[in-house]
Structure 1
């Protein structure tokens, strides 16, 4: 008797490292991968594990992309579908009923996703389960901004309250003095735009928030990542410490170290998911400040350093794949294996190419001292045998070549961005 063929999974956003991790994790198991992408220079598109490549509109044009996705599902029903970005997580949830007619999904409803991706709603939810958050204000008009300026301790961070359909994708900016807060608030509203569909859902989503600044955020962000099922009872997690990001004060994670899971904190995250009705993969970030763990972000989707978790015995893409197909026995087996996994030493995660470029650029500019550069290289050398790279894989090397080309092209087109983030660390 022949074994039924495994359904393919449709993945999007091939320039995301979480997508590449999913391609490799599932592809090695013989699961067919359909990659939908509009860009040529996108690392995951060129993985040897991609079974089929299809062209689609840019995900930046959400209306055109969603129209294409529905038509694709109508033509070729049965693909597993799961989001790889905040935009996709929210759009898939918003159109869940229509998409579920054609795709196998493990998708919470839109209120659950928006509750996690909108910081104001997330903070309210955290309070209900005992999770601590940074001091944060959500001013709704200029008078409220002036009141925040009068009571906050500076410097502070001015940040978007959500990244959903956020066209500039900026993480935020540091505001040094109270007198600068209102002008910077006005500038944020003028320069940063949100997609029409999001503002129709929540007209107040474009208003930035003000958050206390913690120096610990540069090298002391704890990440709890894992999977939770519909019941909230199946819960698997791994811990990591973000030790280097770019820019270092507020930026994208570049290097992580394996750390034990804080069980009490993990239980609160599980309760948060259960209370909200969230199920699927997650990555939750906390700033460690003294004895406090302050929740700053919740990613309800595949995430950038997911390959780190796959290497540590927690194949999150497989969890989603089995759950979306309703394969409860397989899901339970994957969970048992993940819970039983024991590492043989401390693992690290590093995007080695960008890591080396940053050390060279900031070493030459003086933003990093020669001693700091040496310490970072020694850090990598100590852990090199258990280092997980964002892109490099001996058995799947083409995505690394494409990744190099992608960055060279970006920095050639945006030299100011290179100087600001890689040289001046701003």
Structure 2
């Protein structure tokens, strides 16, 4: 295994105002245990991250949404304090989008994957993901993008109830609205009322046919890629329990290779020429096909499930090695590694079903159904 360049620190960036979860803590621990100096700029002062012995320093962020200009100033100030280039590692969609947009002004101060500035934003957009699946013939639930409340109600008849409603760009949801990124819609009137909140939500509403899920139906892929989509490390895991049902965080999971899911992930990364971390959520339908339901360009909360037992390599360590020019051989984690999220796993939850996260895709077949309707 290549040694880490411990002269290059890491700045973790999390702009979501919610309390940092175990994924943030795992990133601090994984990098810190490798001897890398870890700093964190997070919007919340809550949670165990600030008490970790592996965290060198925490930088607070102002409450509420942060515009790119003040964030750029803050990142420059942090860089001045560090006195040397650092790997910038976003931990949420907002951070990944901001980091990509600011990559040019931050050149020389921070190390980031080479990618188009708008790619993280496009890949995190649920409507764009549906179009990408259609382009690549990846299974994806039938999706309707209504342009009026009546079309939203009609989609309930077309897709069947209950159906899944998603806001296209959930990171734009104002906290004051109380709206959730994913909602289970049970009636035509619910679909109509939800559409009427589009202006408050800040992005279009998508309505999708629901995949029922059930035991062993959810898979998540975690991977890290060098330039041009060259695979460095990663693999798939299986959700065993989530809290709360049906859309909660993972409580129990297990590393379990899945060729169908992993091949779909590698094909997608190669198609994009993706550089950096890639997380994909899949769910199996009644015919055994795995539909891609979510995508992120930052570490997920459970990335440590997919860790090579011999080298300890995971996606955040692989990214540091790649960005600092350390060659690392391909590493796949062995099956059987388990994940337990504190007290979440001790609570009765029944079979895990996560509407926002789902299983790998088959090649070929008819493209997914996606309808962008025009007003009557």
TM-score by length of 1: 0.72
Corresponding residue for residue 28 of structure 1: 33
Q: Structure 1 residues 284, 92: CA separation in 2 closer, same or farther (over 3 Å shift)?
A: same
Contact 1:112 1:278 in 2 (8 A): no
**Which structure has the highest helix share of the two?**
1
Corresponding residue for residue 55 of structure 1: 60
1:217 Cα offset (Å): 5.8
- How far apart are the structure 2 equivalents of 1:71 and 1:11? 15
Q: Structure 1 residues 277, 115: CA separation in 2 closer, same or farther (over 3 Å shift)?
A: farther
Q: Structure 1 residues 130, 38: CA separation in 2 closer, same or farther (over 3 Å shift)?
A: closer
Corresponding residue for residue 46 of structure 1: 51
TM-score by length of 2: 0.80
* Equivalent residue for 1:178, pick from 170, 184, 188: 188
- How far apart are the structure 2 equivalents of 1:80 and 1:31? 10
1:84 Cα offset (Å): 0.4
**Which structure has the highest strand share of the two?**
2
Runs of at least 5 residues in structure 2 that lack an aligned partner in the other structure:
353-376
| Bigger relative contact order (CA 8 A; separation at least 6) | 2
Counterpart check, 1:129 vs 2:136 = yes
Counterpart check, 1:236 vs 2:243 = no
Report the secondary structure of 1:228's partner residue.
strand
Corresponding residue for residue 247 of structure 2: 250
Bigger CA radius of gyration: 1
1:189 Cα offset (Å): 2.5
Runs of at least 5 residues in structure 1 that lack an aligned partner in the other structure:
195-205, 360-367, 377-426
- How far apart are the structure 1 equivalents of 2:308 and 2:23? 13
Q: How does 1:330-345 map onto structure 2 within 5 Å?
A: 330-333=326-329, 335=330, 338-339=331-332, 341-343=333-335
- How far apart are the structure 1 equivalents of 2:334 and 2:153? 52
Q: Structure 1 residues 165, 350: CA separation in 2 closer, same or farther (over 3 Å shift)?
A: same
Q: Structure 1 residues 58, 72: CA separation in 2 closer, same or farther (over 3 Å shift)?
A: farther
- How far apart are the structure 2 equivalents of 1:37 and 1:174? 30
Report the secondary structure of 1:132's partner residue.
coil
Paired positions, count? 337
Structure 1: 4+ residue segments shifted above 4 A: none
Q: How does 1:357-376 map onto structure 2 within 5 Å?
A: 358-359=347-348
Corresponding residue for residue 340 of structure 2: 350
- How far apart are the structure 2 equivalents of 1:85 and 1:307? 16
Q: Structure 1 residues 37, 127: CA separation in 2 closer, same or farther (over 3 Å shift)?
A: closer
- How far apart are the structure 1 equivalents of 2:63 and 2:322? 28
1:38 Cα offset (Å): 5.0
